Amino acid sequence: MYFKQFLDEQCGCASYVVASRVSHDAVVVDPAAGVQQYQDLLEERGFRLTYVIDTHVHADHVSGARELCRRTGAELCLHSSAKVLYPFRPLHDGEDLEVGQLRLHVVHTPGHRPELISLLIVNPSRSPEPSMVLTGDSLLVGDVGRPDFGGGEASAQYESITRLLRLPDWVGVFPGHFEGPCGKGMCGRPSTTIGFERLYNPLLRLERGPFVSSLDGEVPARPLNMAAIEATNRGAADLAWAMPAGHQSVPMTDPKEAQDMGRALLLDVREPHEFESQHIKGAINIPQADIATQLDEIPREREIVVVCQGGGRSLRSAQFLKQVGYESVASLSGGTDAWVELGLPTEGSGQLADGPRIVETEWAHAGVSGS
């Protein structure tokens, strides 16, 4: 067996190549948008790509699955329940995909999203038992995938995680993310084992009720440009340009400077329930998840000061606006928290409206621009 993990530092995602050294058949799982890296490897190794699998419809990064299939003639696979607008081979729970002598056993693990699958990798010449599992955004290292992306459900996530924990301790766990907004407690390692997570993943020690409450109660904000990216991955739009690149230099402005900027537009990129509770007087609200689909509401001729709660989301959003051609963009240092601390004018109900409590993660504050 040949196995290689690709780590995308920009968006915190992982993708995989699994191949048979006997038949030279190969499969790529959860490919990133830049598919040339997989083609280069396949050519170098003399592998023939037979399947490309998306474990689910991604909402935080553009998938390269369709492009890779277009270039190679490989068969595109998703779970049978995936609601996409292009043809694919439907996979079902309990099904085996043969890749030479290898078997990829499909396990339906909904929760993060309804169509999410995990893939058990079995090399019968070595053992009848699986040696590793590709978990997509179900079981993560130190965390589990959040359930508020596209119809996910915390109770379904509990059932899926319980199912995965029935695997032997030795099984290696290779998730679809090692950083990013799909979980709030990922430790940053790119892999783990079932046994280690069983012992040390704090969520896996919870009974159903506390587990569900933990997932539903506090979540990171929806990813930057989630609406455009998810629509692209479903085939409902072609907005691959909405994928943040994150290399743009963005100035920071403090609250007093922002207050003196006159015609500057204050763009609050928090979730609506956060904005309704308390926001800078005169600010407008476009959540970071919707920026790419609402660009026509952001004037290019005005100075833009992007605002969030503490400064992480606003920096990434401002970098994206620079990426798509906005010239005068700054991020508010310290965000709404700093503005309120100085006693500057705000509006809002003063009470947090219905909605999950948004937690700022290290990823958000790091200024990394992937979603």
In whole angstroms, what is the distance from residue 351 CA to residue 313 CA?
Answer: 22
Contacts of residue 106, Cβ cutoff 8 Å, sequence gap at least 6: 79, 91, 92, 93, 94, 95, 96, 97, 117, 118, 119
- 308 catalytic residue (yes or no): yes
In whole angstroms, what is the distance from residue 197 CA to residue 271 CA?
Answer: 32
In whole angstroms, what is the distance from residue 344 CA to residue 24 CA?
Answer: 65
Helix boundaries (H) for the chain: 36-45, 65-72, 154-164, 194-200, 208-217, 226-234, 255-259, 272-277, 312-323, 335-341, 362-365
Decide: helix, strand or coil at residue 365: helix
Backbone angles phi, psi at 157, to 5 degrees: -65, -40
Q: What is residue 177's DSSP assignment? A: B
Single out the catalytic residue among 11, 13, 182, 308. 308
SS3 track for 63-76:
ECHHHHHHHHCCEE
Q: What is residue 358's DSSP assignment? A: E
In whole angstroms, what is the distance from residue 256 CA to residue 268 CA?
Answer: 17
The catalytic site residues sit at 308
